[in-house]
Structure 1
């Protein structure tokens, strides 16, 4: 099937799911519906596809939307970030240890598969390490993709029981389209520059940085067109769901139970930390949860836009998580290799 046709079919499925769930009135329902529809379609045989160029455009749109949704009091709340960043570091340790132990003892995963599946994020880095012979790369990929999908699908449902943030649609004045086009061009340029410097999530972060500067300096006024937001959510839903393309139902079921338990542990730990931190900072618990959650930056950023939370806070904490994992993952891999070498030496004696 040609790339164009696969892409169009993927986007149509995502749009149908997005508008079906959007009609239910669930916060973030369009993103959730699109992702769920494409995920199911992929598992039953749809060759879902979101080409790299389109993916980059979607990332620019997400970054732009996040910048447009930055809270006006972001700068005054930065002083509270050390508390939340400290909680994020402690949370990551708890998640990796708990999930790794459970996957090893309950599901009998080998150490490499168990711990690389437990790291909350940095999928491309993890898969690259797994391809060198550390763990089962296929199982690791399925569990990691499942984690992001589940967080994207169920975070909006949880939001039904939480107060929605105050920043989404704060401006009732429609944005001038020429302003939107000029900011979008700047976002694309800065995002491209970030790719040259190998910045993680370059297009999302570059776009958000440029849009945030424009917003805080008064050069990006007004509310984003609803159609722009809807199309971004449809595209992101297609992208999230398409990650299940090529995964057979047998492969999915083989790793799904372990992935479900690991994701449940991850959600529980994140929720407990968000509740705990809420006693020490003056931020909505939903915003804390999205900032501390181990979903993808683009996915959690999109939910932050839909739910009306401070996207600068969410983005900063996801970037910090990626940096922490960049140092932690190789360290754990070294420990796994050392233990395997010791075990091999002992077996040879």
Structure 2
């Protein structure tokens, strides 16, 4: 059995799509022949302190050469080259999305992160990404050879179809932590354009990641007089999230950029009509015809898409059926873990050569 260490910064229990991915891979890799153990790294990444870099270096450099190192890109992309060169284990990088493409960071910080991640990826034996879109970005903009890249899309488990709210005013659901990249400011602006149309919005996602974003969003809701129609639910339990999905009539993802958009898979699996942006991989996560797609950051287009679904129960039913059919074709978490485990096994068996699958970066 291949022995591997999965180095992940921060709290593994954090309720985001990236951490969910990491948890699922850790839990399931053993069934595919990889003994994968968790190594916790400091939570300050991608902006580590000097002390955190020292702690990270000590943990990674001490790993045996016979163990494969799988490392989450949130940390790996910010590692100095000196640490990358000192690691004895073959390195497999997991990139959910490039660090420089996070919204709301200053241009100079984005440039620094892009250069750091580009250098770090040059030292990885293999790179796992969560979407074909990210694979193309790494090949075209980060000079990662396509034969070193493997796509392992997030899994989506079968769930009952959503029952809907049963209310005259459709309930719109958005899921994801409040951050500039998620585009909730654009969503509020879009809904404010709808005038007297009946709707209610629930945003389920942690509110403590970006206090400035949370404060600005509350101010925008108040400014538009929408406090009675918009609920900022904060982080919710899995059971509560299931309840929110079941009681929704429309799902919306207003993100400026997504490395995959796991919540889109969850919405498709439940057969919800979807309005999403085309930011990053979100354009491909939902097949054509299974959602209304609009450009990221375009409040007018987002308002138009939402208005169409709010106004027509028949159109909602049509898109719901298309989304559900698309959801039935999505991979499960066992499929995701099997692909990741395969890359790790090949890296451990032949660490001097690319550990990818033929055609996996398509």
Could you say whether these structures have the same fold, taking a TM-score greater than 0.5 normalized by the shorter chain as the test? Answer: no
Structure with greater contact order relative to length (CA < 8 Å, sep ≥ 6): 1
* Structure with more of its chain in strand, by fraction: 2
**TM-score, scaled to structure 2:** 0.27
* Structure with more of its chain in helix, by fraction: 1
